[in-house]
């Protein structure tokens, strides 16, 4: 397979909006102002890695898993400045990867299937595909965050 260089503008776009989404949700989760910067950095890292993974034709699930692993590992390595916040910052960084829109579309699709005259069988297939993607992507993010946290235990409480 020929290697194609990543589209830098698209990569930057994903990094910037990943950082914004993570920091925005960090405010909702009541992170302090300094921690919000770490949330933004974690979001940028997670989305950057996921985008690069998808660029080399990994599935969304695989790319999300690797992005979560990398984010969790980096937050563990930055134990000194982050302290016990490391896991929470890594989690906030991975929030922009949660496939909430797929989840909603899957549920809407399932509702459409239950109407008296569903449009076609493709609807069932699409909804099922969305559900499976949601399930496996969430599992990938959760496992990606948890595995490094368990392997490199943070002694801070």
Q: Please give the structure tokens belonging to residue 44.
A: 């940028």
Q: Does 95 bind another protein (CB under 8 A)?
A: yes
Classify 157 as helix, strand or coil. coil
Q: Please give the structure tokens belonging to residue 23.
A: 């920091």
Q: Nearer to another protein by C-beta: 45 or 47?
A: 47
Count of residues that bind another protein according to CB under 8 A = 44
DSSP state of 57: T
Q: Does 74 bind another protein (CB under 8 A)?
A: no
Let me know how long the chain is. 157
Q: Please give the structure tokens belonging to residue 134.
A: 């949601």
- CA end-to-end distance (rounded Å), the chain: 47
Q: Nearer to another protein by C-beta: 1 or 109?
A: 109
Helix axes 60-77, 33-55, angle to 10 degrees: 140
Contact (Cβ atoms closer than 8 angstroms) between residue 48 and residue 15 = yes
Contact positions with another protein (CB under 8 A) in 7-36: 13-14, 17-18, 20-32, 35
Closest approach, Cβ 1 to another protein, in A, equals: 25
Q: Does 132 bind another protein (CB under 8 A)?
A: no
Residues at the site binding another protein, with contacts judged by CB under 8 A:
13-14, 17-18, 20-32, 35, 47, 84-85, 88, 91, 94-96, 98, 100-101, 103-105, 107-108, 111, 138-139, 141-143, 145-146, 150, 157
């Amino acid at each position: 397979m020929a290697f194609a260089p990543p589209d830098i503008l698209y990569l930057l776009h994903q990094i910037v909006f990943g950082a914004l989404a993570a920091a925005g949700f960090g405010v909702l989760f009541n992170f302090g102002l300094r921690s919000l910067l770490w949330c933004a950095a974690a979001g940028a890292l997670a989305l950057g890695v996921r985008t690069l993974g998808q660029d080399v034709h990994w599935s969304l699930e695989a790319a999300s898993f690797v992005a979560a692993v990398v984010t969790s590992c980096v937050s563990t390595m930055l134990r000194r400045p982050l302290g016990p916040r490391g896991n929470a910052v890594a989690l906030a960084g991975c929030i922009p990867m949660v496939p909430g829109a797929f989840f909603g579309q899957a549920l809407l699709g399932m509702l459409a299937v239950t109407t008296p005259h569903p449009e076609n069988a493709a609807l069932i297939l699409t909804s099922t595909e969305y559900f499976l993607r949601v399930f496996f992507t969430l599992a990938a993010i959760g496992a990606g965050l948890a595995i490094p946290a368990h392997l490199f235990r943070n002694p801070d409480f």
